[in-house]
Amino acid sequence: MSTEELEAAALKLSPEARAKLAGKLLESLEHLSAEETEQVWLDEAERRDSDLDADPSGARPASDVFRNARSKLK
C-alpha cells in the first residue's frame, strides 16, 4: 500500500479513530534520534518546496498567514 493509499484510507476513518491514529504516529516519532528527526524535517521541507514549485497557486502571503494565526490566539 502506498503512502497516498494509506492516507486516503486514514482520512475515511471517524474523527475519533483518526485522532487515535495520529496520536500513535506522533508517539512513534518521539523515539527517533536527533539525526533521524532532522532528516524527517528536511524531507518534509523539501516535499513542501517541491509542492509549491509544482503549484504556486496554493501559496499565501506571510502577512495573511500571520494575521490568521494571531486571530486564532485571541
Dihedral angle computed from the Cα positions of residues 35, 37, 40 and 41, in that order, rounded to the nearest 10 degrees: -110
pLDDT at residue 10 in the model: 97
Tell whether 37 and 72 lie within a shared domain: yes
How many other β-carbons are positioned within 10 Å of the β-carbon of residue 6? Answer: 10
Tell whether 43 and 66 lie within a shared domain: yes
What is the residue type of 69? A
In the chain (74 residues long), the average pLDDT of successive 10-residue segments reads 94 96 93 93 95 92 94 90
Q: Which domain holds residue 4?
A: 1-31
pLDDT at residue 74 in the model: 81
Tell whether 51 and 23 lie within a shared domain: no
Q: Does the reported pTM lie above 0.95?
A: no
**Ramachandran category for residue 38: left, alpha or beta (phi over 0 → left; psi -120 to 50 → alpha):** alpha
Query: How many domains are there within the chain?
Result: 2
Tell whether 60 and 45 lie within a shared domain: yes
